Amino acid sequence: MKLSSAIDNAMPELVAIRHDLHAHPELGLEETRTSAFISRHLAELGYEVTTGLAKTGVVGTLRNGSGSRSIGIRADIDALPILEETRLDYASKTPGLMHACGHDGHTTMLLGAARALAERRNFDGTIHLIFQPAEENFGGAKIMMDEGLFEKFPCDAVFALHNEPGLPFGQFALREGPIMAAVDEARITVHGRGGHGAEPQETADPIVCGASIIMALQSIVSRNIHPMDPSVVTVGAFHAGSASNIIPERAEIVVGIRSFDPGVRDELERRIRMIAEAQAASFGMRATVDYLRSYDATMNHKAETDFVRDLAVRFAGADKVVDLARPFMGSEDFAYMLQERPGTYFFLGSKVSGEEKPLHHPAYNFNDDLLPIGAAFWTELAEAYLPTR
């Protein structure tokens, strides 16, 4: 049976799988039901199933022929702490949790490919299907690396994709080099001296000081970073006070930082610390900075990116394949897998009407029509990377 026919015939099952996963979202490192669900499907297809990596991760291994080469394909499996507003029949059954990023779809596409690969056996070598937990917040990929993922499951190359509602349906978008940003977070605490709002001269007002810090932070990207080096400094939260007649003891500023170049990343941290401390000192106060380095930038390798581009052109047509002019400022912990093995990360567009909700929106919903495309592409990619003799 042709691959396209096999995938189309499996479409009802794929939709059922996706809807089941969507209805039962789980947060990172807590995906016990999801992990068991994936493991059961892989075992039924004849895969060697390994569980427990990064607590709830699953690896399905399939061997065929005598080839020594191997490939890894990753899907993320975790959900987000968002109250769903889709009103779908299969909406989240767990209030406050939702598959708002399409990981239910990513997982389903890889399970669809798992079935096709097992039935076709049209490859020579070893395939490792990596179902990774905790992509959203807890760095599940890094935990898998620390626990020896590629020592236990050797891969000559590793691949991953993400759906993108902002790109045309079925479009493959990729680029060599940086494709997703490094992400860091700074929590600045301004230590003032509280008191009565009617007697500000007896206090050291951390709100006024914090406002000055916030405004000064806006100068970092525009005046300290080279204009050709993409970077973002976003003040996402400012917490202080409780009433109009009370000057609080402290204020907290939460800052999100995005960058690509390691030198720029260091400079951003240096300037944020300097500005916070110096601005506070100018008000006669003290500021402390808790700076968290989170995910590194996602850097695609040339050979594997070229491989995916050529395959995508054959698979979907040249009009459906684009090279991104610039990277996305979002982040992705697949970066850690790409630091240990060559590979590439790319996007698959899902925009049809233009009314689609963006990722992480409470009314977002993965487009089921992408399921056969993703499943078929992963199947062809594995077979092309591990061709039979």
Closest by CA position to 251, among listed 186, 185, 189: 189
CA distance 215 to 212: 5
* Catalytic residue chosen out of the listed positions 30, 31, 76, 78: 78
Q: What does the block give as tokens for 380?
A: 């062809």
Residue 135 annotated among the catalytic residues of the structure: yes
| Cβ atoms < 10 Å from Cβ of 199 | 9
Closest by CA position to 366, among listed 160, 159, 103: 103
CA distance 22 to 107: 11
Residue 184 annotated among the catalytic residues of the structure: no
Burial of 5 (0-12, 13-18, 19+ CB in 10 A): exposed
* Catalytic residue chosen out of the listed positions 26, 135, 136, 356: 135
Identify whether the C-beta of residue 114 lies closer than 8 Å to the C-beta of residue 126: no
Residues shown for the chain: 389
- Spell out the SS3 assignment of the chain: CCHHHHHHHCHHHHHHHHHHHHHCCCCCCCCHHHHHHHHHHHHHCCCEEEEEECCCEEEEEEEECCCCCEEEEEEECCCECCCCCCCCCCCCCCCCCECCCCHHHHHHHHHHHHHHHHHHCCCCEEEEEEEECCCCCCCHHHHHHHCCHHHHCCCCEEEEEEEEEEEECCCEEECCEEEECEEEEEEEEEECECEECCCHHHCECHHHHHHHHHHHHCHHHHHCCCCCCCEEEEEEEEEECCCCCEECCEEEEEEEEEECCHHHHHHHHHHHHHHHHHHHHHCCCEEEEEEEECCCCEEECHHHHHHHHHHHHHHHCHHHEEECCCCECCCCCCHHHHHHCCEEEEEEEEECCCCCCCCCCCCCCCCHHHHHHHHHHHHHHHHHHCCCC
Residues that are catalytic? 78, 135
